[in-house]
Chain A
Amino acid sequence: MRLCVLYSGGKDSNLALLKAVESGHEIACLLSLKPVSAESEVFHFPNVELTEMQAEAIGVPLISVECGDREDESLKALREGLERAKELGAEGVVTGAIRSTYQASRFQRVCYSLDLWCFNPLWLRDEVSILREVVERGFETVIVRVAGIDRRFLGANLKNVLRELSEMRGYANPAGEGGEYETLVLDMPLFRKKIVIEEFEVVGGTGESEGVRGAMGVMDAVMVVKKARLVPKR
């Protein structure tokens, strides 16, 4: 079956993509929802442009749809993106949803209304097992946003902080599904080239009042990639 992958560029959507390909499905395209508001773009999707580079590394088309912050706006954007994916021959959608019934129901309803199959291969997976799997399978993943966990995780390669993230269980979601952190995949088995970050800046994470988020009162902080390039893999 030809599938569209809902793609954020992070570890979960990349692992879901890999599982779909390993099950014998063909990838019609990636679909990335791009927030239009500056706040949302900076704090929640700091490196949305890099999805273009990731799509190029994989060698599949990318559908990028702008969406607003409101629930109805993001649903409209999702629907619009999936309609375009159908034009590219997609018969189904793959998501990296793990545990959120709110998110899963939303995807299921949109897919149902568009007569698309819906695949959630990470559904109900143990979060720590996902972290281990992406590291063991050779994903190069960096943490690009933290909210509610220590700012020192920012920019860290997942394989170097795996144990610390695993130990968060109990007070934070170790996979970051609650928004504790977000990741960017620079390389994984389906990438023909890998992404090298050449220049970045850290935004947020200082001061006391703005952007406070999370149980521990740690500031939102994001690593914004200013310059990156694709390089051949050895």
Chain B
Amino acid sequence: MVAIISLCKHRLHEEEFVRPVFEIVRGDREIVRAEDVRPERIEHESAIVCGTALKDFEYLKMDFSWLLNFKYVLGICAGYQVLARLFNAELSGLERIGVHDVVCVRKNPLFQDRFRAYFLHELALEKVPENFEVLALCENEVAAFRVEGREFYGVSFHPEVLNPEIIERFVELSGE
């Protein structure tokens, strides 16, 4: 089962950032609000940590060490930021709103070549620590990364908008 993690402070935002991901995953999945996660009760192997609104930064105050209990994690936008912080990568103030080109720079199971993606954030990575593999770039921004030695992926854009196949491939990869 895939845990679809909501970081949204306001439940109304789940209609915008969580429901679309839930609809793409199909199969066995459930939506869990981050503050409701009980680490000792995690039974899922995979998690998708969804994005949230531009003005929402509540999640940056929370502890996400429980994500290490999952085997496969896909962090979307705010979820990418959560993974970055969990592995001590430094986020920069980098506002990006709208559709932009993304270029794949390293072979990976989720995407390839060049594609258009929808962005909505004001924080992202410009550089990564040694234990991160940069998978894609959008100008000077790390648009996608993998944490070395783990099946943890972060994408700074919202694949649910223009690239649902990325979410589908992640679910396939995790064997769900």
Chain A contacts to B: CB under 8 angstroms: 1, 19-20, 23, 25, 101, 105, 108-109, 111-112, 115-124, 126
Contact = CB atoms under 8 A, between A and B. Distances in A.
Given A23-B12, A25-B12, A101-B118, A124 B160 contact: yes
Nearest to B122: A112
Contacts of B20: 123-124
Given A101-B161, A101-B162, A121 B12 contact: yes
A112 B56 CA distance: 12
A101 B161 CA distance: 8
Interface of B: 10-13, 15-16, 19-20, 23, 53-56, 95, 97-99, 118, 120, 122, 160-162
A19 B120 contact: no
Contacts of B53: 117-119
Contacts of B16: 119-121, 123-124
A121 B161 contact: no
Given A117-B53, A124-B161, A101 B12 contact: no
9 shortest interchain CB distances as A-B pairs: A105-B98, A124-B20, A23-B12, A121-B15, A123-B16, A120-B16, A108-B97, A117-B55, A101-B99
13 contacts: A19-B12, A23-B11, A101-B98, A101-B162, A105-B98, A111-B54, A112-B97, A116-B55, A117-B10, A117-B56, A118-B54, A119-B13, A126-B23
Contacts of A1: 10
Nearest to B21: A124
B37 to A, nearest CB: 22
A190 B23 CA distance: 28
Given A20-B12, A101-B162, A121-B16, 5 more contacts: A101-B99, A118-B53, A119-B12, A121-B15, A124-B20
Contacts of B23: 124, 126
B162 to A, nearest CB: 7
A118 B8 CA distance: 13
Contacts of B120: 108
Contact of A122 (B15, B55, B118, B122): B15
Contacts of B122: 112
Contacts of A121: 12, 15-16
A124 to B, nearest CB: 4
Contacts of A111: 54
Contacts of A101: 98-99, 118, 161-162
Contacts of A20: 12
B12 A108 contact: no
A48 B15 CA distance: 28
